[in-house]
Amino acid sequence: MQGLPTIILVGPMGAGKSTIGRLLAAELKREFFDSDHEIEARCGANIAWIFDVEGERGFRDRETLMLRELAGREAIVLATGGGAVLREDNRQALRERGTVVYLATSVEQQIRRTARDRNRPLLRQGNPEQVLRDLFAKRDPLYRATADLTVRTDRRGPKAVVNEIIRRTKRLSDPLDLKA
């Protein structure tokens, strides 16, 4: 499946970007990168610490640099952080360098998937459900505007989502391939 372009996963926290990204990369026999994990590795600190020390703007500056670097690689699978689409420069870089897949999920599903995760700085800012609803209202239009494909992850196993991404990405890459 070498003919497929770089695949970039966007979506909210708890959508399954990292899990699906790893499975997708394994299926396609490609390298997998998670921009948040790469930032943590480079800084030697977790995202929550970076937010505490540098604020959200400092983190977003680091994220922009990391996205430029990673999106410039050939034929990879890249999972981005939930806020990667907030900056127009990021949205443009992602669109130019690969097929962007929006992993869409409900706020209810996000709550279930992130309930016990203490490494989500934005969820420490009040009522987590309201924070997720506010983030969804602000970011969903940006995810949709950036993405080439939207794939729902609610009530679906990761393998089913991976298979749909591969099938639909093939169709985008070669619309005349009737098997895709």
36 annotated as a binding-site residue: yes
- The kind and range of the H/E element at 32 are strand 32-34
- Spatial neighbors of 54 by CB under 8 A, at least 6 apart, are 62
62 annotated as a binding-site residue: no
82 annotated as a binding-site residue: yes
139 annotated as a binding-site residue: yes
d(CA 38, CA 66): 8
Residue 43 near residue 67, CB atoms below 8 Å: no
98 annotated as a binding-site residue: no
60 annotated as a binding-site residue: yes
> How far is CA 62 from its chain centroid?
16
Binding residue numbers for Mg(2+): 18
Binding residue numbers for substrate: 36, 60, 82, 139
Binding residue numbers: 14-19, 36, 60, 82, 120, 139, 156
Binding residue numbers for ATP: 14-19, 120, 156
